[in-house]
Amino acid sequence: MGNLPLLLKGYNTDLNGGSNTIPGITTTASWQNVFDSGRGDVVYIDGMETGRPLFYAADIGLGITILVSGVQVIVNANSGDFAPYAMPGNYYLTPLRQPGGQTLSLQAIGSAGNVHGFQVLAYYENAYDTPENRAKLYVSKLKRRWQNNTYNVTVAAKFQQSSTFTVPVGNGNVVGVELLCYIQTGSASSDAPNALISMYVNGVSLFENVSAVYGHASCTKPQIFPVKINPGDTFYFITDASNCGAGVNLGLGARLYFDETN
């Protein structure tokens, strides 16, 4: 288990970066992409409604259909089914074991005045997601158990890379990672779902293009991903905030969970 897995990737454009479905969709929109090759099978798919404020509100949402290799997997859903806070405590990920390279398609039907967009989330197979490895998250030793690593995103632009962080030495291995998102003063609540975050460890992606609201405390989707990151490894983040408002002010990053070793 030496290779780092691609834990989660968001898809919201075609292969050329066109037909972006993050902004509000007021008519119809569609795109076709492919699952990544060389990173294992896709084992679950899900979605994230973007533009959604962090509270319940009356609105129409989008009609959503997701296809894999031309097969309709999720049909006539409402984007509100995939709101960040949907079904707290009982969130259902759609199981799907498909190899990389399979075609992924989205069909979205909007209406006048709609402010919501959408991205498809693909969960890739993770060899570290076992009962034995998950148990390492719940030891009770008195030591540093977890720490946050964040940076501020204050410009509505595409490529915003953080400084490089280093996993501390002498505190054991990292056995879990969780995305973080803080909505700071002046930022609209819709900036969190509309920003896209990626995380790289030793240059290898763990998360790619994921709606940043995935890391917000209000989000009820699965949060802590078992993994193995070694002391001294380096990591950084890249954010695309081009779909956010001019006053975007987000604290983004990840929480690292340590095992009981030193």
Of the pLDDT bands very low, low, confident and very high (cuts 50, 70, 90), residue 204 is very high
pLDDT average, residue stretch 51-75: 86
Q: What sign has the CA pseudo-torsion 209, 8, 32, 245?
A: negative
Confidence (pTM): 0.95
**pLDDT of 88:** 53
**% of the chain at pLDDT higher than 90:** 83
Structure tokens at 124: 């890739």
Query: What is the residue-averaged pLDDT of the chain?
Result: 93
**pLDDT of 102:** 96
Q: What is the pLDDT of residues 230-246, one digit of tens each?
A: 999 999 999 999 999 99
pLDDT average, residue stretch 23-43: 96
Task: Name the pairing type of β-strands 234-240 and 225-229.
Answer: unpaired
Range in 86-100, 184-198, 212-226 the model is least confident about? 86-100
Range in 119-128, 151-160, 203-212, 215-224 the model is least confident about? 215-224
Task: Round to whole Å and give the CA distance between 243 and 146.
Answer: 31
Domains and CATH numbers, the chain: 8-124 (2.60.120), 131-258 (2.60.120.1090)
DSSP structural state of residue 82: G
Q: Which residue has the tokens 């095992």?
A: 259
